[in-house]
Amino acid sequence: MKLHAYKFQGAGNDFVIIDNPDGNISLTEAQIRTLCDRRFGIGADGLMTVSPSADADFSMRYYNSDGLESLMCGNGGRCISAFFAKKKAAAGAKGLHLEFDAADGRHCSDILEAPEGPLAPGMRFTVKLKMNDIVPDAEGNSPVTCYPEGYSVDTGCPHFVMFVKGLNNYNVDGEGRMWRYDSRFPIGTNVDFVEPTAEGLVMRTYERGVECETLACGTGAVAVAVVSYACGIRNFANDGRRIRYEIIARGDRLKVDFLPSEGPGDGGSYTGRFTDLRLTGPATFVFETEVEI
């Protein structure tokens, strides 16, 4: 089978996108692994398909590079929005509002900046993506779980956030691999290492499903922001009640803003809600190609 594939990257987190307008493309785990392989395929952290939706602009399915489907990818959600906006919805695309379905529910995105003209390599978009609210569970337990070593939170995917010093020289792959399989996380977890600085929250992520460090992680950026707020890390900007953190990933910068229901925490249990969560950052078209699988 011959596929037409598009490659995008969001802050260095890269993806293969397959347009599936008739819903007749079905890829096996092995095929997805091959397409994402950096030596024998196109090379990517994950793969997404774009399909029609009954009552939204499109439907997104996301697969990690190990071939297994995952619930959500924040950087992927921005990239697939840029792809749809340019290829399907509008020549200019700037100012476009989109709604799409993912495995974790309905999302919306806004194309804040978009180049003119047809899709071409190097085109850089700025996309703001709405993520799911993060709220206490039915029993009122905090959405952020505290452990002696760090904090866990679900932002569409499970994340374990650890504050460290000397992040630039930190053994992310070694430490990340250890915590990713910790027995407290039976389905596994992404692991985010963060060091607050005057410029923002510097982060590095070990991604499950990729099984190594990636240059950025969108759901991880959200996790780092809400955990930092819950722990009382105050290097944020605020506009009225709205809180915004600058996230400095290895591939680029991201912004996470949200409405909290309580003030910053003190490092203990935080029972507040995080609503109207937005992840803003770049989505860049790399190239398109045809591949036989």
The tokens for 285 are 């078209």
Interval 177-190: pLDDT, tens: 999 999 999 999 99
Question: 174 CB contacts (<8 Å, ≥6 apart)?
Answer: none
Is the Cβ–Cβ distance between 46 and 76 less than 8 Å? yes
Q: How far is CA 20 from CA 4, 106, 163, in A?
A: 10, 19, 41
- Judge contact between 5 and 286, C-beta under 8 A: no
The answer to whether 217 is a known catalytic residue is yes
pLDDT at residue number 125:
97
Give residue 91's pLDDT.
64
State the catalytic residue, choosing from 73, 79, 157, 231.
73
> What are the 10-residue block averages of pLDDT along the chain, 293 residues in total?
95 97 92 97 97 95 96 95 87 86 95 92 97 92 94 95 97 97 94 97 97 97 97 91 97 98 85 96 97 89
CATH class in words for 2-129+284-292: alpha beta
Q: Could you tell me if 44 and 16 are in contact, meaning their C-beta atoms sit under 8 angstroms apart?
A: yes
Strand 242-248 relative to strand 253-260: parallel, antiparallel, unpaired?
antiparallel
Provide the residue ranges of all domains of the chain, joining segments of one domain with +: 2-129+284-292, 145-272
Residue-wise pLDDT tens digits, 112-150 = 999 988 899 999 999 999 999 999 988 888 999 999 999
Q: Is 212 marked active-site?
A: no
Are 2-129+284-292 and 145-272 in the same CATH fold? yes
Q: Which of 105, 119, 192, 109 is nearest to 153 (CA)?
A: 192
Give me the catalytic one of 36, 79, 157, 217.
217
Q: Which of 3.90.180.10, 3.40.50.720, 3.30.450.20, 3.10.310.10 is the CATH number of 145-272?
A: 3.10.310.10
Identify the pLDDT of residue 163: 97
CA 40/CA 48 separation, integer angstroms: 19
